[in-house]
Every structure is written in C-alpha cells, then in structure tokens.
Amino acid sequence: ILDEGRLTDTTGKLIDFTNTIILLTSNLGCPKNYNKYLQEKNFLSNLDLEDIKNNIKLNINNYFKPELLNRLTNILIFNPLTLENLSLIFNKFINELKIKLYINKINIIIYINNDIKYILTKLSYNPLYG
C-alpha cells in the first residue's frame, strides 16, 4: 500500500513499514439479513456461501479504486460463525474462567449443563453478525 515502504508522521519522524502486515476490514457487500438463504433451512449451504462471496467481491471491486486493490496481496472473505463455532468459543471462555479461578485460588466450581450451553449459544447466535 505504501509506495516507499515508509511514512512520515506530523512531527517529521520517519516510520518504516518494510516488514509490516496491514489488515483492512470491511462489511462491504455482506447481506443485510440471511432470510433469502434461510427460508427453508437453518444453515447456509456451500452454494449460499459462494453467492455471498461473489456479492462481496463485486461490491469490493465497485467501491475501492483499482489502484488500491492492485496493491493488496490477498482478500479474505470469512464465513459467518455457526452454532457449533459459537459453542466451541463458549467452552473455551468457560475453561479459561475455570483456570483463572483455580490459579487465583478462588474456590468456585463452574458446571454448565449442555442444554443450558445450547440455550445460551442459541440466544447469542445471529448469522448476520457472524
């Protein structure tokens, strides 16, 4: 992205970006909702994901100038999180909490029934926001 691999800040200090990875994020082209894809099923098929991916690419190409896009090494498009993904994240955070309690010698035992885990995960699930 940087022509010379460096920038000068407002104080005149030179900042070297030679070995830097720059990440740009955007929701450009993401669906406003997934109703179109979830009418008769409760998951996004590979065909749905491909359609979403193509729409995102189209919007990116229409929004950003070719001069910027040509400087990018990769454009990664992430799939929305699934209930299974959220369940794994939920378990990871609960386990981290248990470890912190143990390390700090706080005598609290946490047990969450799988049905409750599912309900909490389902409540927080929104395919629109991944």
| pLDDT tens-digit readout, 37-57 | 777 777 788 898 899 899 999
State the angle between helix axes of 114-124 and 83-103 in degrees (0 to 180), rounded to the nearest 10: 120
Could you tell me the pLDDT band of residue 127, with boundaries at 50, 70 and 90?
low
pLDDT of residue 24 exceeding 80:
yes
pLDDT: is 64 or 128 the higher one? 64
Q: What is the pLDDT of residue 128?
A: 67
Model confidence, pTM:
0.65
pLDDT, position 41: 77
Half-sphere exposure of 54 (CA within 13 A, CB side): 6
Give 1's pLDDT tier (boundaries 50, 70, 90): low
* Percent residues over pLDDT 70 in the chain: 95
Q: What is the pLDDT of residue 58?
A: 93
**Half-sphere exposure (Cβ direction) of 86: Cα atoms closer than 13 Å:** 17
If DSSP codes are grouped into helix, strand and coil, which group holds residue 7?
strand
| pLDDT score of 83 more than 90 | no
Of how many residues is the chain composed? 130
